[in-house]
């Protein structure tokens, strides 16, 4: 399946001088696909920026099923072509 911007939501702003946003994205795509260059094709339009934190919730079907995997990542590149996520190690 391909990126679906309907399931990307900005849920908060980190504020302060460090700034940045916190996002939630629900998908059936494996994290290896979401980790692809410019995956979030409308990232600039939605306001994604370098350093934003994204929680990726992988499910078996959309819209709302039991999560099969949850991954934390950070936006490491933003261009007119999209925003790129890189997984963050949790340990």
Q: What is the mean pLDDT of each run of 10 residues along the chain (91 residues)?
A: 92 84 96 94 95 95 87 95 90 63
Question: Can you tell me the distance from the alpha carbon of 54 to that of 24, in angstroms, rounded to the nearest whole number?
Answer: 6
CB atoms within 10 A of CB 18: 7
Question: Can you tell me the distance from the alpha carbon of 37 to that of 78, in angstroms, rounded to the nearest whole number?
Answer: 9
What residues have CB less than 8 Å from 65, skipping those under 6 apart?
A: 59
Q: How many domains does the chain have?
A: 1
Containing structural domain, residue 51: 5-87
Question: Can you tell me the distance from the alpha carbon of 19 to that of 80, in angstroms, rounded to the nearest whole number?
Answer: 21
Task: Give the pLDDT confidence score for residue 63 in this predicted structure.
Answer: 84
Task: Give the pLDDT confidence score for residue 27 in this predicted structure.
Answer: 96
Task: Give the pLDDT confidence score for residue 33 in this predicted structure.
Answer: 94
pTM score above 0.85: yes
Task: Give the pLDDT confidence score for residue 88 in this predicted structure.
Answer: 86
């Amino acid at each position: 399946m391909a990126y679906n911007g309907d399931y990307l939501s900005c849920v908060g702003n980190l504020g302060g001088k460090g700034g940045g946003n916190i996002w939630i994205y629900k998908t059936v795509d494996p994290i290896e696909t979401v980790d692809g260059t410019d995956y979030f094709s409308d990232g600039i339009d939605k306001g994604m920026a370098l350093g934003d934190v994204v929680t990726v919730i992988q499910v078996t079907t959309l819209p709302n099923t039991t999560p099969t995997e949850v991954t934390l990542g950070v936006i490491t590149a933003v261009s007119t072509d999209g925003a790129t996520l890189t997984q963050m190690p949790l340990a």
